[in-house]
């Protein structure tokens, strides 16, 4: 029950600070960032709401971006990318996206925490059937792609790391093309003139 109360409080903070710089500063000054990080690390039932509140606090707020990273949030968010829960993956990718926005130090810290291969796997590692599965899968795909875009912006080492992952995507496309070129019995389809 206490976790439910914590999740609701994080939800309320997310909406209170969304798009409101004064509220972002006031909530951070009141000590919400360390409390949300603890919630992100300790309360499994509130991970997604804590990540959402941290995302809202970070959005377009350079001071909060630094404070959130300094509080140890990045490794906890990266761990959520490994979970098999699409809502947690989405929340983590969105939070990492806003932490990386126009913040070179956070871009590096997020990459150093191992986020790039995990995000790339969420984008490039989908099976062909999964690409068209659910709206939740599409939501995770888009959030992970946006986070990779932010991590690459003006950051050559991150661009290189993402390019390595992109080669894996190209292999995926090659495999997809190979599957489309075979008939049901596995023989190559005949080319039409």
Lookup result for tokens 């000054």: 29
Largest Cα–Cα distance in the chain? 71
Q: Are 92 and 51 in contact (CB under 8 A)?
A: yes
For the stretch 61-93, pLDDT in tens is: 999 999 999 999 999 999 999 998 999 999 999
* pLDDT of residue 126 exceeding 90: no
pLDDT of residue 70: 96
pLDDT of residue 165: 73
Q: How far apart are CA 61 and CA 5, in angstroms?
A: 27
Residue 188 pairs with which residues in a beta bridge?
182
Mean pLDDT of the chain: 85
Low-confidence winner among 68-77, 158-167, 172-181 (lowest mean pLDDT): 172-181
Which residues, 6 or more positions from 179, have their beta carbon under 8 angstroms from its beta carbon? 128
Question: Per-residue pLDDT averaged across 157-170, rounded?
Answer: 80
Q: How far apart are CA 89 and CA 140, in angstroms?
A: 6
pLDDT of residue 51: 94
pLDDT of residue 175: 66
Reported pTM:
0.82
Q: How far apart are CA 33 and CA 31, in angstroms?
A: 6
Q: How far apart are CA 175 and CA 94, in angstroms?
A: 30
pLDDT of residue 133: 62
């Amino acid at each position: 029950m206490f976790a439910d109360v914590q999740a609701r409080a994080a939800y309320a903070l997310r909406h209170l600070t969304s798009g409101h710089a004064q509220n972002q500063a006031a909530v951070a000054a009141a000590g919400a960032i360390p409390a949300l990080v603890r919630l992100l690390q300790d309360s499994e039932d509130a991970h997604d709401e804590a990540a959402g509140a941290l995302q809202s606090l970070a959005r377009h707020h350079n001071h909060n971006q630094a404070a959130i990273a300094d509080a140890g949030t990045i490794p906890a968010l990266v761990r959520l990318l490994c979970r098999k829960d699409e809502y947690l993956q989405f929340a983590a990718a969105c939070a990492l996206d806003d932490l990386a926005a126009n913040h070179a130090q956070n871009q590096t810290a997020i990459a150093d925490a191992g986020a790039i291969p995990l995000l790339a796997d969420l984008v490039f590692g989908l099976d062909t059937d999964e690409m068209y599965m659910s709206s939740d899968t599409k939501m995770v795909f888009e959030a992970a792609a946006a986070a990779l875009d932010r991590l690459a912006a003006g950051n050559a080492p991150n661009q290189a790391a993402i390019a390595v992952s992109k080669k894996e995507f190209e292999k995926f496309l090659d495999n997809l093309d190979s599957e489309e070129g075979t008939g049901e019995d596995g023989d190559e389809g005949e080319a039409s003139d």
